[in-house]
Amino acid sequence: MYEPQAHPGVPALFQELPSLLDALCTETSEVQSETVNKCLPFLKGIHNSQAGPFNRFGVPSLNQNDHLIYLYDSLEDYPEGFAGMDASRPWMVYWVLAGLSLLGEDVTKYRERCAAAILASNYHLSIQRPCLNPLSSVISTFTPMQNPTGGMGGGHGQLSHCASSYATVLALAMVGGEEAFELIDREAMWRWLGSLKQPDGGFRVCVGGEEDVRGAYCAMVVHSLLNLPLELPPDAEARQHGLETFTSGLSEYLSRCQTYEGGISGSPGSEAHGAYTFCALACLCLMGPPEVMVSRCMDVPLLLSWLSARQYAPEGGFSGRTNKLVDGCYSHWVGTCWPLVQSALNGVQSATGPERVPANLYSREGLTRYILGCCQSKFGGLRDKPGKHPDSYHTCYTLTGLSSTQYYHYHTTSSVSSNEGFGSAYSWKCTPIPASDDSSSDQNVFDEKDRLKAFHPIFVVPHAAAENLRTAGPRSAARMVDRIDRFAREALILNNMSICLCRRRHWAEPAYESYAVGGGYTCIVRVNNREYQTEDVCESKTLAEENAAMRAYLICRNFSVNDGMYPAGHEHRGGPIQGIPVAIGTGRKGRYGDETDMSTSGESRSGGSSPESSEGRLDRRGVGPTRALAFGHTAPAILGAATTRGGYNGSAHMQPNSGAVWMPLDRRWFRAGIPGGSGMRNTRTKEQLERLRLRDRTGGVQEEQKGGDSGGKLEDAMTKGKLLTTPSRLFKLLIPLSTGYQGEHKAILVHPQQPLSHLERLIQSEVPAIKKEDGQTRPPTVSFIALQIEDHPIRPRKAVYEGTGAEVHQLDEMGRIDDGEGKRIPTEDDTYTYLRRTEPSKKGEESEGGGRREQRFVRWSQSTEIGDFIRDAARAREFIVSVEGAPAGVHQIRVAVPSFDERTYFLRMRLRKISGRIKGIAEIKHECDALAHRGAQRVAMGGLGILAMWWYLVYRLTFETDLGWDTMEPVTYLVSLSTLMGGYLWFLYHNREISYRSALDFTINARQKKLYQEKGIDLQLWESLIDEGNTLRKEIKNIAAEYDVEWDERKDERDQRVTEALKQERTQKNGNKRRDDEEEDGD
């Protein structure tokens, strides 16, 4: 049997099995042998997936173009199977940006918020970079992940975690720019990191999480890059145990993590691991020079022995633990440990360059051969090992390991200064190692065109990126102090003006009360016997007081009672009040949300009227009297409330004048004026007016009956929600979570595969907490109720006691219950008035109650997937969200559910668009296929003609000439044998089997491809359109099955040729599934 020969440049070490093999056969040894056998063909350069070219050492080149395409594609949308990776979004962004940076791409284009303005440009090859979209912006992606208490979570509303914060900071460092650097709240980050510091010197990965080396490394990298104060915050738990700085006790903790093997474990007493070893060594080198810290805290000879044992032969790659397989990602986790250890052994070097380049402590050649030979996928991206699929994680860290083999990293004293706690971490330099250098004992086998960019061995980002983010820290701190001083001056000016206005109105001077809350400060100001709180938690006490001073100024300058007249019974009855009337105040803002002040106009001296809390939101575009009045984020709800409560119809009352906005509210005229205005209205106010006029024209604003109670249409309008679908196949839930008329609808994005408990936590974060008897608070219970249709409703036999969602409904045998356990409600039809409705029966159906059947709502388990819940709720076209503790009448929020047509709208529109493109290509493709088949028929008929001529010639020569059968028999035999030998030689030369498929490729397919090129048909585009069309069709079919409806795909496919093309592809894909799986396994 023919066996391909290995490339002559590959040494024998990488062509043969190890000379020493353990005779004991175990599952571990079997898997190891299987891995070696998979790697050997790649190392020899004989695997059929390796198209080359190979250099003189038998190493394939780095497929940079394919890897770039793969990484850019990794920034696009992911299929629904990646929903479980939602918390890893910061990591996914970092992995892709790091991979692009290593390959020489400029990632700063992902910095801007309006990334869509960036035009696509070309690679050095004929592949185009994709146009970016706003979601591609690193800043817009990471902004909602930051928590007010400090740190970054995996997504909006998720717990802050060291790993997520680490990935976020590194990604921001790579994109660079002042806007990216200022995104992180450094003070909050400093306090949050201080809360993770433990008394034994280590760090937790999150509040209440595990303590390990990974948390220490991530925390120290974030701390160093952001240039945070070295001292622990005053409220840090570690300070109570005698620790004063972030580095106190850390080196001792890391030293205790070294195991008997020599490697470093995640925590004392655990197994040594390559990734934890890198984290510990990088953490030590970050705190001081490696020749000091590593030598003092680690058993270096034992560490060297363990690290050396991680590189295997003949593979050349690294394993993460003892008796484990090689993995491409450990090219970084273990491979980058070597520069740190080598620098600890060599000592400090000159800043101008290393005095000498010592011999390698590990085989750079072996690691390079493993990465370039075994880890590259022919479709782009890098992988764990042969037989595995590529991903952005392995692509990033495998390229990082390859970059480490191409540079000599050394530590200098150039950046060390006495006033920097982590100065030694920024003292690393690197020198390129010559490609294909034969003078070294361990030759370098990569080509210069395959050289990657150098990364910092500690921070795993480019050296310049780490330096830029580090140096931006002092500037940001100085600007923060500057800003606080300026705000203090503004607060003093505003306070003096407020005092003058209060004296003019015979009010007491404004009083301020500041106090610290989680992650910042807030301030309460008392004006005219009413308290108002700053809208947001501020980063400093000074800023909170400045917000409160602005609030006090607006209250003093803008107030209204009785159309500008003092209330009845007042000593100045009949006299006008000077000032600009505005909306009613909301009172104190609670810790978890607004606690609406429902006081009437007669409960205060000024009639209880004062500006809305949103008007006190700071607009930092001006100072003092010249500052324009700006609406906050609740402005749309204020306008909506004004139009509903004002008792008017249409927009005739909306008459904006120069410098003022007129609004009817509470049957009186109010004007939101612009202090010092000169005819220019605030831009945001004009936008709200335009929105209000649009609502009036479309009939969105309706008149409320005069004399009505607090319920009615206003209450009903604010308790209606809606569920929408997005082009990314997520659900967008619009739901009013505020209990007051000034609340806006909240938009929540959820994935169909997430459980209802996830949606419950998102809603709990937006509503006020429940206060228990002991003074503690807990989140309210959120229930989800959907319709269950029953022809014979089952009514309760006993009284039902209704309490909060967190209480247990108890019923005793006599139908009684202790007082205080719940509220007894009747058992008649109105028992479930908010959970039950009736509708006429369908034709031909009969039920009790006069032909009407009952629809009963049931409460669903929180572990139910959202998609399953929505599928069942779609039958009633709505479901109910019940929030515990909400006021009566608004704790049952009805949410409209999209129908099948609404839910599949984007999918069907996309399918129609793709069908149109397929139709245009299919018409041309059909003509090419017909021509190719006619050409194949001519070839087949020609072959038949040649056989017929051969038969006739043999017949004539045999029976009609003197040659006879004795002569023609050996001739025909030799001709047939020669034909077989020629076919076999063709097989050996082309390395292809002679089959019907190869003959088809040689005739019809070759003719088709030529015709496609002439007609300009892109086969790759055709296949992608067909695949996407079948994927969309399958997804719509699945949704139709969920809704139990019949979907006519021909209506959306729009053409019979499109339907046939999609069907043909599905049939061919099912028939060739086994062959494709075998080819994929072989890769």
Residue pLDDT, tens place only, 90-125: 999 999 999 999 999 999 888 763 333 233 333 333
Q: What share of the chain is helix, strand, coil (3-state, %, to 5)?
A: 45, 10, 45
The candidate with the shortest Cα–Cα distance to 567, out of 616, 598, 528, is 528
Of the residues 66, 384, 450, 594, which is catalytic? Answer: 384
Task: Kindly indicate the confidence band of residue 601, based on its pLDDT and cuts at 50, 70 and 90.
Answer: very low
- Tokens read off for 616: 């006190």
**b/e code 125-164 from CB counts within 10 Å (16+ = b):** eeeebeebeeebbbbebbeebbbebbbbbbbebbebbbbb
Contact 601, 565 (CB under 8 A): no
Contact 374, 337 (CB under 8 A): no
1012 and 889 in a single domain? The answer is no
- Name the residue with tokens 């069709």: 1033
Indicate the residue among 839, 873, 898 that finishes a domain.
898
Lowest mean pLDDT among 53-57, 322-326, 419-423, 728-732: 419-423
Asked if 327 is an active-site residue, the reply is yes
1052 and 977 in a single domain? The answer is yes
1050 and 1076 in a single domain? The answer is yes
Overall average pLDDT of the 195-224 stretch: 95
Q: Phi and psi (nearest 5°) for 954?
A: -65, -40
The candidate with the shortest Cα–Cα distance to 701, out of 643, 773, 785, 775, is 643
Overall average pLDDT of the 439-453 stretch: 78
Which residues, including other chains, have CB under 8 Å from residue 422's CB and lie 6 or more apart? 220, 223, 224, 286, 287
1029 and 1016 in a single domain? The answer is yes
- Tokens read off for 632: 């906050």
912 and 955 in a single domain? The answer is yes
- Name the residue with tokens 């599949």: 904
Q: Is 14 inside a domain boundary?
A: no
Of the residues 321, 588, 746, 919, which is catalytic? Answer: 321
**b/e code 756-783 from CB counts within 10 Å (16+ = b):** bebbbebbbebbbbbeeeeeeeebbbbb
Of the residues 66, 185, 212, 391, which is catalytic? Answer: 391
What does the pLDDT read at residue 618? Answer: 34
Indicate the residue among 561, 582, 599 that finishes a domain.
561
| DSSP bridge pairs for 687 | none
The candidate with the shortest Cα–Cα distance to 1054, out of 912, 906, 920, is 912
Asked if 407 is an active-site residue, the reply is no
Of the residues 310, 364, 383, 394, which is catalytic? Answer: 394
874 and 1015 in a single domain? The answer is no
Q: Is 445 inside a domain boundary?
A: no
Which residues, including other chains, have CB under 8 Å from residue 807's CB and lie 6 or more apart? 821, 822
- Tokens read off for 931: 């021509």
* Single-letter code of the amino acid located at 1049: E
The candidate with the shortest Cα–Cα distance to 906, out of 726, 1040, 723, is 726
Q: Is 178 inside a domain boundary?
A: no
Asked if 751 is an active-site residue, the reply is no
Q: Is 949 inside a domain boundary?
A: yes
Contact 852, 838 (CB under 8 A): yes
Asked if 312 is an active-site residue, the reply is no
Contact 123, 65 (CB under 8 A): yes
Residue pLDDT, tens place only, 253-298: 999 999 999 999 999 999 999 999 999 999 999 999 999 999 999 9
- Tokens read off for 484: 């606080």
Of the residues 329, 374, 375, 396, which is catalytic? Answer: 329
Of the residues 276, 330, 397, 553, which is catalytic? Answer: 330
Please give the Cα distance from 924 to 729 (Å, whole number): 33
More confident residue, 253 or 1037: 253
- Tokens read off for 147: 């928590």
- The two most distant CA atoms of the chain are separated, in Å, by 146
938 and 868 in a single domain? The answer is no
- 891 has a pLDDT exceeding 60: yes
Of the residues 239, 273, 557, 871, which is catalytic? Answer: 273
Peptide bond into 390 cis (omega under 30): no
- 639 has a pLDDT exceeding 80: no
Task: Kindly indicate the confidence band of residue 607, based on its pLDDT and cuts at 50, 70 and 90.
Answer: very low
Contact 296, 233 (CB under 8 A): no
The candidate with the shortest Cα–Cα distance to 274, out of 213, 215, 320, is 320
Asked if 329 is an active-site residue, the reply is yes
What does the pLDDT read at residue 332? Answer: 97
Q: Is 122 inside a domain boundary?
A: no
960 and 1025 in a single domain? The answer is yes
Q: Is 20 inside a domain boundary?
A: no
Of the residues 66, 185, 212, 327, which is catalytic? Answer: 327
Contact 810, 819 (CB under 8 A): no
Contact 541, 591 (CB under 8 A): no
What does the pLDDT read at residue 734? Answer: 82
Count other Cβ atoms within 10 Å, centred on residue 223.
Answer: 23
- 990 has a pLDDT exceeding 70: no
More confident residue, 609 or 385: 385
891 and 953 in a single domain? The answer is no
Q: What is the DSSP string of 117-132?
A: GSPP-B-SSS-BPPPP
Tell me, what CATH number does 552's domain have? 3.30.160.20
Tell me, what CATH number does 736's domain have? 3.10.20
Indicate the residue among 561, 587, 613 that finishes a domain.
561
Q: Phi and psi (nearest 5°) for 745?
A: -65, 135
875 and 938 in a single domain? The answer is no
Q: Is 1042 inside a domain boundary?
A: yes
Q: Is 961 inside a domain boundary?
A: yes
Contact 307, 5 (CB under 8 A): no
Please give the Cα distance from 342 to 285 (Å, whole number): 12
The candidate with the shortest Cα–Cα distance to 614, out of 638, 643, 650, 646, is 638
Which residues, including other chains, have CB under 8 Å from residue 849's CB and lie 6 or more apart? 838
Asked if 394 is an active-site residue, the reply is yes
Structural domain range at position 784: 719-790+854-898
More confident residue, 60 or 868: 60
Asked if 384 is an active-site residue, the reply is yes
955 and 1060 in a single domain? The answer is yes
Q: What's the structural domain count of the chain?
A: 3
Of the residues 156, 256, 324, 451, which is catalytic? Answer: 324
890 and 999 in a single domain? The answer is no
